Amino acid sequence: MIKHCQYHCPKCQKSLMKGDKVELNYKRVSGSEKGRIHLSPEPGNYEFITFPKVTFNKGERVVFICSHCDSDLSSEKNKKFAELKMMVNDFIFFEALFSTVHGDKRTYIITQDEVDSYGDADGEVHDDFENFSFDADVV
């Protein structure tokens, strides 16, 4: 189990850590409401705090945005996931993809040779992750 990792923006490479949480900005797809969100760095742990406090609807998609460079962090592999850079140490990093659909608690950690998944899709399954192409053999 991977814990205590540092998350960085894949675009500007800056640290997204705020204390022991991952701090991002978010934008609701429905409407233009924006805010700040703190996520747990533990894969599959979907506890979060928003500032100001909001309640997301089940199945609602939220766009996560880097608080440093304002980049949309939606994964190019699948727009329903946000992609962060997970630094294990100075030399090793993984891609961390987590679902941006509220209620879908899936996180994928893409390492050099495998995909680890954490959490479950709660109820409704958003299962187009299988269509991802992983170049696992190309390192």
Which spans of this chain sit near Zn ion (rule: CB under 5 A)? 9, 11-12, 66, 68-69, 71
Nearer to Zn ion, 62 or 66 (CB): 66
- Minimal distance in Å, beta carbon 64 to Zn ion? 11
- Minimal distance in Å, beta carbon 8 to Zn ion? 8
Nearer to Zn ion, 57 or 71 (CB): 71
- Minimal distance in Å, beta carbon 101 to Zn ion? 22
Nearer to Zn ion, 11 or 38 (CB): 11
Q: Return d(Cα 14, Cα 93) in angstroms, integer.
A: 13
